[in-house]
Amino acid sequence: MESVSIRMVSDVRPQWIAQMYPPKVGRDHLGLGSVSSDQILPSLVPGINVLTVHPRYHSFYVFLLDEFWRSERPRSHSEWVRFYRPREFIFSVGAHLCDRPEHGDLRTIVGGQRTGPLAAPVSSEFDTAFEYIKSELGGYGLYYRSVIAEMGLIYPGGPGFPYPIDVPSEEGKKTAAAFRRAIQETTYYQEYFEQDVVRVPYDVVVEYIRGACLCQLQRQDAPDHRLVVDSFCHGGNVDSADARRATLRFFLDLADQTDGHSISQDDFRQLIYFGAAANGAKYHPRNEVMDTYKRWRLYQAREYYAFALNALWCHLCDVGLNLQGDLRPVPISEILNHMMIALDYARLAELLDVEPPGLTPESDFIRLTRWLEALVGADGAAFDERCNLDSPVHEHKLYRLAIDPYAEPAAMAAGMLTVLALITLRFGHPNLWMEPEWTISKMGSDGRLSVDGFLRSIRHRIQRGSISIGEVTAWLLQDYVILQHHIIATGKLPENTFRFQREGNRLSFFRLANRLDFTDSRFDAISTTVHELGFCGDFRLTSHDLTASGRELLERGDIQWTS
């Protein structure tokens, strides 16, 4: 009876009936994705991000800005918004009506969620007062303004700047004039463009968009084609332009070697990491793009690394909730015990269709790496080349097991520790850490768990003496999952994105959904850009061979226009 009363007293704690900051879904709960999106990818491809998919938006938006400055309107933000919105609305509707042969399956049209349905049934006219998007400056303000400025087509305006609103640069004015030539003979430009609120007939919009559409930039005879191409190849500061041009060249090498295969983002990840994809496409970088390729491959190595840690985090959340951690705090030791149970290498071997390795949480971590070397049939520097898509085990196969909505605990724990072991075997050689491209793997060292830091730490722990699989897992869970989540979630306050909070040696959990996948690689944006710049076909199609200008950029590393 006495022990019961003591337990009852220990469970009596003050509790809030409502939280000050209710939990939110949030994202990037370990802060790993931001390293890719905010550091690595901007260094690899400055000026092209996930949502800046279509390069002709650059000339369209700078054209609108130039038209505004050419008008007699007051130079104010509100007047710029009043001018901007009806003209982007017509452009958005028109992009759904374009009947040019180059149009294809054109996606990510700004405002398309609302303008697409308008264009589906044949309407007689379109009212420019229609509320097509919430943001007052639409796609320009949301997505494209910063990259257009980065490429030197505008001078930013507004509070803190000399001008009340953005101003086209000299190059921007040239680009605007070129776009104007593409549409200046249309009825829309001559009779409707000057009016903010007007009903524009269907046929007028169709005539206008045949010259204005995003798809028309790829035509060599588009008036703004060369200027936009030059902006992407040389715009902005020299280092950014060089990096962007190098990635465009790398993508053209990829397009050239994979012609005959439709390439998705998933295929792209496999090609740059393994040199092959499940669809049969293969890729071996030419010498001229090798440095860029190595950097992109290290980016994908980080994606596997980040995915493994995020999967461990997701599984820890599932374990905590299964232990009713949303009702009462759960001892961390109890959670770790359940995580150790998920280090089931016998079950993982079944999922991989290989012989069981006889590994347990108490087994030395080196035994795990030796098992992987035996499966692949190579060790040392040869391991990286031999561990490919045909191997019994590789990172993408383990990723596939974990991404399944019904992923088993063995895939989430043993599988993800195996991913980290594979990365260690591939990149855990100090001679690689001295190469120039290794700067990619150092990104995230500012509190965001760099690959470089992980590899140095695991190497140090192994060199100190025997360390078990369970001990490595406990270290990762404590320092790379629990502590890191607390740091990241605390930094987002007052927005509450905690999935668990530490109370001494216990964790309290919140029952919210967790999303698990890679960070967007910008493949869709970059592949669309090289296509719409007229360098190659659409990667989504089986045939995406290079054009003459694409071949020149691939062979020479730059474009030299002839008159």
- Do residues 470 and 533 share a domain? no
Residue 438 has pLDDT above 90, yes or no: yes
As a whole number of Å, the CA-based R_g of the chain is 27
394 belongs to a structural domain: yes
- Do residues 192 and 260 share a domain? no
226 belongs to a structural domain: no
- Do residues 118 and 251 share a domain? no
Q: Mean pLDDT, to the nearest integer, of 155-183?
A: 96
| pLDDT the model gives residue 562 | 63
Tell me the residue range of the domain where 263 lies.
237-284+522-556
Give the pLDDT confidence of 315-352 residue by residue, as tens digits: 999 999 999 999 999 999 999 999 999 999 999 999 99
DSSP string, 323-382: TTTTTS-EEHHHHHHHHHHT--HHHHHHHHTS------TTSBHHHHHHHHHHHHT--TTH
Q: Mean pLDDT, to the nearest integer, of 447-461?
A: 95
| Domain end (from 183, 217, 251) | 217
- Do residues 210 and 75 share a domain? yes
Residue 3 has pLDDT above 50, yes or no: no
Tokens of 429: 């050689």
Tokens of 68: 């505004």
514 belongs to a structural domain: no
- Do residues 363 and 494 share a domain? yes
Cβ atoms of residues 395 and 419 within 8 Å: yes
Q: Which residue has the higher pLDDT, 520 or 1?
A: 520
229 belongs to a structural domain: no
Residue 11 has pLDDT above 60, yes or no: no
- Do residues 181 and 64 share a domain? yes
CA distance 267 to 278: 7
Residue 360 has pLDDT above 70, yes or no: yes
Q: How confident is the model at residue 27 (pLDDT cuts 50, 70, 90)?
A: confident
Q: How confident is the model at residue 435 (pLDDT cuts 50, 70, 90)?
A: very high
- Do residues 249 and 314 share a domain? no
Q: Which amino acid is at 531?
A: H
Which residues are CB-neighbours of 562 under 8 A, at least 6 positions away? none
35 belongs to a structural domain: no
| pLDDT the model gives residue 16 | 44
92 belongs to a structural domain: yes
Give the pLDDT confidence of 365-389 residue by residue, as tens digits: 999 999 999 999 999 999 999 999 9
Tokens of 43: 């260094």
Q: Which residue has the higher pLDDT, 45 or 8?
A: 45
42 belongs to a structural domain: no
Summarize the chain as % helix, strand, coil (round to 5): 55, 5, 40
Count CA atoms closer than 13 A to 279's CA, side-chain side: 18
| pLDDT the model gives residue 463 | 94
Number of domains, the chain: 3
Q: Mean pLDDT, to the nearest integer, of 472-477?
A: 98
Exposed e or buried b for every residue in 236-268, given b needs 16+ CB within 10 A? beeebbebbbbbbbbbbbbbbbbbebebbebbb
CA distances from 25 to 126, 314, 328, 508 (A): 38, 13, 21, 16
Residue 1 has pLDDT above 70, yes or no: no
Q: Mean pLDDT, to the nearest integer, of 259-276?
A: 98
- C-beta neighbour count of 39 within 10 angstroms: 17
* Helix (H) or strand (E) run with residue 402 in it: helix 395-403
Q: What is the mean pLDDT of the chain?
A: 94
CA distance 445 to 453: 7
The SS3 assignment for 169 reads coil
- Do residues 474 and 539 share a domain? no
Tell me the backbone φ, ψ of residue 228, rounded to 5 degrees: -70, -40
Residue 439 has pLDDT above 60, yes or no: yes
- Do residues 269 and 352 share a domain? no
Q: What's 177-228 look like in SS3?
A: HHHHHHHCCCHHHHHHCCCCCCEEEHHHHHHHHHHHCHHHHHCCCCCCHHHH
Tell me the backbone φ, ψ of residue 152, rounded to 5 degrees: 85, 20
* Helix (H) or strand (E) run with residue 495 in it: none
Q: What's 410-441 look like in SS3?
A: HHHCHHHHHHHHHHHHHHCCCCHHHCHHHHHH
Residue 123 has pLDDT above 80, yes or no: no
Q: Which amino acid is at 187?
A: T
Percent residues over pLDDT 70 in the chain: 95
137 belongs to a structural domain: yes
Q: How confident is the model at residue 446 (pLDDT cuts 50, 70, 90)?
A: confident
Q: How confident is the model at residue 26 (pLDDT cuts 50, 70, 90)?
A: confident
Cβ atoms of residues 225 and 182 within 8 Å: no
Conformational region of residue 128, where left means phi above 0, alpha means psi within -120 to 50, and beta covers everything else = alpha
Q: Mean pLDDT, to the nearest integer, of 128-136?
A: 96
Q: Mean pLDDT, to the nearest integer, of 168-192?
A: 98
Give the pLDDT confidence of 181-240 residue by residue, as tens digits: 999 999 999 999 999 999 999 999 999 999 999 999 999 999 999 999 999 999 999 999
CA distances from 561 to 4, 180, 225, 504, 552 (A): 86, 22, 11, 67, 10
- Do residues 352 and 454 share a domain? yes
- Do residues 79 and 198 share a domain? yes
Tokens of 301: 């190595």
- Do residues 440 and 533 share a domain? no
Q: How confident is the model at residue 493 (pLDDT cuts 50, 70, 90)?
A: confident
| pLDDT the model gives residue 525 | 98
Q: Which of 313, 247, 304 is nearest to 427 (CA)?
A: 304
Helix runs in 213-331, H state only = 225-234, 238-258, 265-274, 290-322
